[in-house]
């Protein structure tokens, strides 16, 4: 659209170079072109500005509306203006379903990791491993994604609900089964482990973490998972035992 043509839609009073005599069909074509070219509804003042002074605008609009009555677009009044809109009966065909991908929060990623490596796991156990309270929205997000599902209730006082992963989780990450989850060596090589006990526990598994705590204590456990994968303080023997 040229700058001169765009300026005409600023509703400024400008004289248009129109033929001295125009029939109704010619005037209807002008109105039709104006409505098609405009990105917003045009009021009658804007339309009259492009027509002869004596043009019967109401009759012209009625004529154009009748021409488009049975077509895919209809001429409709929108507020104080006029615009072409798609026919109402075609709304179902034109409706688009767009899947919006949302990036998981850090809390959701950590919660998903804990459930994957510790399942079946309760909400309280997730909170204990992460060291912070778990908001309900975090589990709801993972449920909506179809990655977790209830796995019965723990046979302890209070009967807390247990959570586990789904086949959709395995499919999304290209895993054949839970045994294909990255092991300790894989996570360390990727630099995904640090000194935080929560993340260390995720990779080790509950039973292995408990055994390691009993045998060597928390200090030794921290030394197993340094921030730097090349840290000389890594106990290779303990690492091999855990990864086996």
Q: Which pLDDT tens digit goes with each residue over 173-205?
A: 888 888 888 887 777 777 766 545 544 555 555
Quick check: 219 pLDDT over 60?
no
pLDDT at position 72 is 92
Q: Which residues pair with 121 in a beta bridge?
A: 163
Q: Domain limits at 71?
A: 3-94
**Structural domain contains residue 99:** no
DSSP assignment letter at 226 = -
- Give the up-direction half-sphere exposure of residue 67: CA atoms within 13 A in the CB hemisphere: 12
Of 137 and 9, which is predicted with more confidence?
137
Rounded percentage of the chain residues whose pLDDT exceeds 70: 69
Predicted confidence (pLDDT) per residue in 66-81, tens digit: 999 999 999 999 888 9
Alpha-carbon distance 151 to 159, whole Å? 12
**Structural domain contains residue 38:** yes
Quick check: 228 pLDDT over 70?
no
Residue 7, judged by CB atoms within 10 A of its CB (0-12, 13-18, 19+), counts as exposed
Quick check: 242 pLDDT over 70?
no
User: CA dist 128 to 110, 131, 132, 197, 198, Å?
Assistant: 12, 5, 7, 10, 8
Predicted confidence (pLDDT) per residue in 121-178, tens digit: 999 999 999 888 888 788 988 998 889 999 999 998 989 999 999 898 888 888 888 8
The answer to whether 202 touches 186, Cβ cutoff 8 Å, is no
In the numeric block, which tokens belong to residue 131?
């060291």
The widest CA-to-CA distance across the chain, in whole angstroms, is 102
Q: Are residues 118 and 151 in the same domain?
A: yes
pTM: 0.43
Any idea what the CATH number is for the domain that residue 37 is in?
A: 1.10.10.10
The answer to whether 119 touches 164, Cβ cutoff 8 Å, is yes
Domain termination site, one of 60, 94, 128? 94
Quick check: 211 pLDDT over 80?
no
């Amino acid at each position: 659209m040229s700058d001169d043509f765009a300026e005409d839609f600023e509703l400024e009073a400008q004289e248009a170079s129109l033929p001295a005599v125009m029939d109704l069909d010619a005037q209807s074509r002008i109105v039709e072109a104006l409505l098609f070219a405009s990105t917003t509804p045009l009021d009658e003042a804007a339309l009259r500005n492009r027509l002869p002074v004596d043009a019967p605008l109401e009759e012209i609009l009625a004529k154009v509306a009748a021409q488009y009555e049975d077509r895919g677009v209809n001429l409709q009044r929108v507020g104080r203006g006029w615009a072409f809109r798609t026919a109402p009966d075609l709304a179902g065909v034109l409706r688009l379903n767009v899947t919006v991908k949302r990036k998981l929060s850090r809390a959701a990623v950590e919660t998903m990791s804990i459930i994957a490596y510790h399942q079946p796991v309760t909400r309280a156990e997730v909170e204990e491993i992460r060291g912070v309270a778990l908001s309900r929205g975090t589990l709801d997000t993972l449920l909506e994604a179809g990655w977790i599902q209830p796995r019965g209730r723990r046979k302890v006082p209070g009967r807390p609900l247990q959570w586990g992963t789904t086949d959709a989780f395995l499919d999304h990450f290209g895993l054949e089964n839970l045994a294909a989850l990255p092991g300790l060596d894989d996570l360390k090589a990727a630099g995904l482990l640090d000194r935080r006990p929560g993340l260390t526990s995720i990779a080790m598994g509950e039973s292995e973490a408990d055994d390691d705590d009993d045998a060597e204590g928390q200090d030794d456990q921290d030394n197993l998972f340094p921030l730097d994968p090349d840290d000389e303080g890594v106990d290779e023997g303990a690492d091999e035992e855990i990864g086996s």
